[in-house]
Amino acid sequence: MVQSKAPDVPAYLAELPDERRAALTRLRELCLAELPGFTEVMAHGMPGYERDGVGEIAFASQKQYISFYLLRSDIRAAFDDRLSAHDMGKGCLRFRNPAEIDFDLVRDLLRATASGDGAVIC
């Protein structure tokens, strides 16, 4: 699944394969808990979290991995040491095995995102 046509995040999660649903549900729970004041949306066929209409976080079930989109360049720079051991794209952290998602790192990234504002990469 690259882009979903789901109208909302619960519908998105419901259409996922069982082996990925739990991990993406946990990502959603962390986003909802750690991003107060953000709005949950479906954008570009994936769950996203916006502040003042600007997307800062998103996640998706891709064909080969689960993507966690970290769209703030300042947060990425601040966590460069912890992110360097992971498969990273320009703005996404890729997890090929749902069982190996570093939820502690994700929580820290979300808390840092919520604590201030900065430039969005995309």
Q: What is the pLDDT of residues 29-84, one digit of tens each?
A: 999 999 999 999 999 999 999 999 999 999 999 989 999 999 998 999 999 999 99
Among 115, 87, 119, residue whose Cα is nearest residue 101: 87
- How far apart, in Å, are the Cα atoms of 102 and each of 64, 82, 97, 105, 107? 17, 10, 11, 5, 9
Q: What is the pLDDT of residues 82-98, one digit of tens each?
A: 999 899 888 889 999 99
Q: Which residues pair with 43 in a beta bridge?
A: 46
* DSSP-derived secondary structure letter, 99: G
> Residue 121 — pLDDT band, cuts 50, 70, 90?
confident
Q: What is the pLDDT of residues 106-117, one digit of tens each?
A: 999 999 999 987
pLDDT beyond 90 at 119: no
pLDDT number for residue 70 = 93
pLDDT number for residue 47 = 97
> Residue 1 — pLDDT band, cuts 50, 70, 90?
very low
Instruction: Determine the average pLDDT of the residues in 22-32.
Output: 97
Question: Which CATH code for domain 9-114?
Answer: 3.90.1150.200
| One-letter amino acid for residue 21 of the chain | R
Q: How far apart are CA 62 and CA 76, in angstroms?
A: 21
Q: How far apart are CA 43 and CA 3, in angstroms?
A: 9
